[in-house]
Homo-oligomer: A and B are copies of this chain.
Amino acid sequence: MSTQTISPGILDHDLTKASVDSILMDFLESRGSSGDSRMTRIVKLLEDFMVGGKRIRPVLTVMGWQAAGGETVPAAVLRVAASLEMFHAFALIHDDIMDDSDTRRGRPTIHRMLAGKRGDDRDERFGLGAAVLVGDLAFTWSDQLLHTAGLTPAQSAAVLPLVTEMRTEVMLGQYLDLQATGELTDDVDATLTVNRYKTAKYTVERPLHIGAALAGADAATLTACTAFALPLGEAFQLRDDLLGVYGDVRDTGKSRLDDLRAGKNTTLVALALRTADAAQRARLHTLIGDPALDETGAEEVRALFASTGARDIVERMIDDRYRRALEALETAPFTADAVTALKHLAVTATRRNS
């Protein structure tokens, strides 16, 4: 186990990221050296997959720790943070299977990588099954990182129920998302519910809770985390929806045709359908969800998002939620350093281009 610790007060989180990366790589190194060549290959795949992630959940775990008054960040907290990142690798690998995505972080997805080059039916089935398994291993190992973090009994008792709820919520969110995929909806509330489960709670609220609980946070502190996290998390996802359509693949590592081709029911799409006239709506239905959609078709969709006003509404929703998150910080019983860091995070999460 790593004994590295981090001093408090850092704002750019580079040290958190580096520490978490080093825990993850040491851990995978030890799992890969079992002597079984198949295991070595799986571990290598996971290592490559995990390079280049934003590490937002580990950073938020450390921020939660600091918000609740935790000072020098102990190795145990960093190891829990690393465990959330390993869990996230699991979630992404399975999401990519469900969404049938080709690329992630600028590289082929795990199921594509494992399917090999021939692309026949048997290879496809192997890629799919083996990717399910690589995801399952990442889940198993995220748990191992957690169990070997060296938590006190009080920390375990506070954190493990939060981890269970975090996992259950993201899976329910993904289930709702999957149910909606393939049939476009103009139900804006439904898209915001998926957003709340898959992103606001999973990506922001629960990591903050887990970090705060490790520092012994009381109920008022956890409630304040929620008041900040839910609007910010929603804003984060709305920004993601925009980046999925307008982002640059060189920044996002993700084709900006994927979401449109998959017919992903984002809030952006639901708003466009709701405000469109009959002719516009028909074009949106034709273009979104077409697996063969090309860049010309995507440009037409983008023009419709502009002319229906949907894009502007999403930008306003992001602004509104950003402001609510900042307001929540004003009354939160957090340390001053943590408030500064969370304000900074709110800007980067909502203004980012990757």
Q: Determine whether A298 belongs to the interface, using a CB cutoff of 8 Å to chain B.
A: no
Q: Determine whether A160 belongs to the interface, using a CB cutoff of 8 Å to chain B.
A: yes
| A182 and B122 within 8 A (CB) | yes
Partner-contacting stretch, out of A167-175, A210-218, A243-251: A167-175
A182→B97 CA distance, assembly (Å): 21
| B100 and A172 within 8 A (CB) | no
Known: A143-B164, A164-B147. A98 touches B129 (CB 8 A): yes
A156→B125 CA distance, assembly (Å): 38
> Smallest CB–CB gap between A308 and chain B, Å?
26
Q: Determine whether A179 belongs to the interface, using a CB cutoff of 8 Å to chain B.
A: yes
A221→B153 CA distance, assembly (Å): 28
Q: Determine whether A42 belongs to the interface, using a CB cutoff of 8 Å to chain B.
A: yes
Known: A100-B125, A140-B168, A164-B147. A38 touches B175 (CB 8 A): yes
Q: Determine whether A36 belongs to the interface, using a CB cutoff of 8 Å to chain B.
A: yes
Q: Determine whether A28 belongs to the interface, using a CB cutoff of 8 Å to chain B.
A: no
| B38 and A176 within 8 A (CB) | yes
| B129 and A97 within 8 A (CB) | yes
> Smallest CB–CB gap between A186 and chain B, Å?
19
**Pick from B31, B133, B175: contact of A175, CB under 8 Å:** B133
| B178 and A137 within 8 A (CB) | no
Q: Which of A214-257 contact B (CB under 8 A)?
A: none
| B178 and A133 within 8 A (CB) | yes
A31→B167 CA distance, assembly (Å): 13
| B39 and A172 within 8 A (CB) | yes
A168→B139 CA distance, assembly (Å): 10
* Chain A: number of interface residues, binned into ranges: 35 or more
Closest residue of chain B to A126 (Cβ to Cβ) is B178
Chain B residues whose CB sits within 8 angstroms of the CB of A181 once the complex forms: 126
Chain B residues whose CB sits within 8 angstroms of the CB of A38 once the complex forms: 172, 175-176, 179
**Pick from B100, B125, B164, B171: contact of A133, CB under 8 Å:** B171
Q: Which residue, of A130, A136, A144, A156, has the highest number of chain B Cβ atoms within 10 A? A: A136
Q: Determine whether A94 belongs to the interface, using a CB cutoff of 8 Å to chain B.
A: yes
A178→B167 CA distance, assembly (Å): 27
| A140 and B126 within 8 A (CB) | no
Q: Can you name 19 A-B pairs with beta carbons within 8 Å?
A: A38-B172, A42-B175, A94-B132, A94-B136, A97-B128, A98-B133, A122-B182, A128-B128, A130-B175, A133-B171, A133-B178, A137-B168, A137-B171, A139-B139, A140-B167, A140-B168, A141-B164, A144-B164, A147-B161
11 new A-B contacts at CB < 8 Å, known A31-B168, A137-B168, A140-B171? A36-B172, A94-B136, A97-B129, A97-B132, A98-B129, A122-B182, A126-B179, A133-B171, A133-B175, A136-B167, A147-B160
